[in-house]
Structure 1
């Protein structure tokens, strides 16, 4: 009797959601219900099945108050035989929509590859001083790999170096520092491939924690409290006619390109700025209509001679973008050489 009452209760929950979100796909609605009622439901497929029964979708038996949600293998086989296979199955594909930086936010300072706590303090100081004196940005765009996430990487780690808690602390301090230097500017934080290490770590070492808000990197770094807007990993961002990517969206690995800007041109065929390669480069071509397409890679703000790659082609640098009302833009791809911004 208790089991029947519980089924009545959960069915009423699902009915309420189905009534309010009539046009939402069943699987998407099931995810919402499971997230909002984790104590009432255990598995996504059970919720999805109940949603489909409430909606009386084809191929799913109607609700019975005395029938449990799970079915025996024989019942499943019978349902498959009775199913109308002309129906197109529901897809799991979800597209990550690009983000458009609002037109009023037209003076964008892009900082990439800081790799806290392996940053270069002098390079950061020169960048901030130059931006405050000459650029007056109204947007600070942290373009990925701001945090190194060293201890959560898949590579062999030196446990004597800074722990993950220390990395989180110093990254939060850096976000506070940026807020102090540019209190009125809009702030964005793009998830790069190094920040991706955190979710990869959870997937392999602690999958039970996936989906719990408190373990999301944006919560751990307190984006909401500090006023930073999250830009997801692999999410495209546009500032007028310029695409801004970290670089891991289109590059399978790190390094190897003679000219990263030339390589991103061949893959994007659109005006694009990337970080990721720790190098300042530029490439410009005209299309058949005479339109100019320019691509850029910006320098980094981390140490230039890490133990794992003491010889490289890296350089310190940052980028400044000024967008126009028609979507056009001007981009200064600046280097830091011998203590001077050039």
Structure 2
């Protein structure tokens, strides 16, 4: 992320394989290919991990967590193909964190066994870096606890998100109030923009929508919006432009 030149990034997230929307996924890939950004950020929850969640599960579903991981890995490989030179970053979401929680609940014996194959499921980097073969694709991984201070994009916080409110925009405001500076997050599956100006200058917080199915079997008529965000910085990085891009059946206008 060299300074003294313009920088463009495409940001999206919350794919939730296998509950992804193939059209939205295709739209995100097409957008990245069209924009040719310097950076691409997926804001997390790339895999739903429903099999190891605390919620009730559909016993008729036959897909395994491993098959869902293969789907996510195939998507990341496609993302790398359409953005061969871009800096790609994948953030950990609360759904990926289900893996750590499941292992911790299983107890010390299972944790000791899992350590033997050096998968690293308990380590700070998390097993996802290896499970999704991120190093093979040149994709950076940022864990939940590191996101608020990781240098992913210029002068803006990139995080999966921890707050959620009833309405789009309220969450963006609450995230901004926590940090008092510009940021972008997912988690809510909504698109919104919150702007603020004071004696410290201008700041914004953006909710980046989702790329998952808008009508999942586990949720009735959710207030979700599919899309992505294009961020552009001037040569000296003093000015940032934001463009929220909504998807409809995978189609968009920029």
TM-score with structure 1 length normalisation?
0.64
**Equivalent residue, structure 2, for 1:242:** 156
- What's the offset of the Cα at 1:145? 0.6
Q: Distance in 2 between matches of 1:310 and 1:143?
A: 24
- Cα distance, 1:285–1:182 mapped onto 2, change above 3 Å: same
- What's the offset of the Cα at 1:258? 5.0
Q: Distance in 2 between matches of 1:234 and 1:102?
A: 25
Equivalent of residue 225 in structure 1, options 136, 145, 151: 136
1:199-214 to 2 correspondence within 5 Å? Answer: 199-205=100-106, 206-209=110-113, 213-214=118-119
Q: Distance in 1 between matches of 2:86 and 2:230?
A: 14
Bigger Cα displacement from structure 2, 140-149 vs 321-330: 321-330
Q: Does 1:287 align with 2:198?
A: yes
1:34-45 to 2 correspondence within 5 Å? Answer: none
Q: Does 1:150 align with 2:50?
A: yes
Q: Distance in 2 between matches of 1:331 and 1:197?
A: 32
Alpha-carbon contact 1:203-1:210 (below 8 Å) kept? no
Equivalent of residue 323 in structure 1, options 206, 230, 233: 233
What SS does the aligned partner of 1:337 have? coil
**1:109-150 CA deviation, whole Å, 9 max, x = no partner?**
1121011111111112122223322x2112221111111111
Alpha-carbon contact 2:32-2:82 (below 8 Å) kept? no
Q: Distance in 2 between matches of 1:281 and 1:158?
A: 32
Return the structure number with greater strand share: 2
- What's the offset of the Cα at 1:282? 0.8
Equivalent of residue 192 in structure 1, options 93, 112, 115: 93
- Cα distance, 1:270–1:210 mapped onto 2, change above 3 Å: farther
What SS does the aligned partner of 2:228 have? strand
**1:5-29 CA deviation, whole Å, 9 max, x = no partner?**
xxxxxxxxxxxxxxxxxxxxxxxxx
- What's the offset of the Cα at 1:223? 1.3
1:97-176 to 2 correspondence within 5 Å? Answer: 103=3, 106-133=7-34, 135-161=35-61, 162-176=63-77
Structure 1, unaligned runs of 5 or more: 1-100
What SS does the aligned partner of 1:341 have? coil
**1:200-222 CA deviation, whole Å, 9 max, x = no partner?**
11111233356563141211111
Q: Distance in 1 between matches of 2:205 and 2:142?
A: 21
- What's the offset of the Cα at 1:102? 5.3
- What's the offset of the Cα at 1:181? 1.6
**1:253-287 CA deviation, whole Å, 9 max, x = no partner?**
x4434522222222222111111111111111211
Higher relative CO (CA 8 A, sep ≥ 6), structure 1 or 2?
2
**1:63-83 CA deviation, whole Å, 9 max, x = no partner?**
xxxxxxxxxxxxxxxxxxxxx
- Cα distance, 1:200–1:327 mapped onto 2, change above 3 Å: farther
Equivalent of residue 310 in structure 1, options 220, 235, 239: 220
Return the structure number with greater helix share: 1
**Equivalent residue, structure 2, for 1:298:** 208
- Cα distance, 1:281–1:311 mapped onto 2, change above 3 Å: same
Structure 2, unaligned runs of 5 or more: 122-126
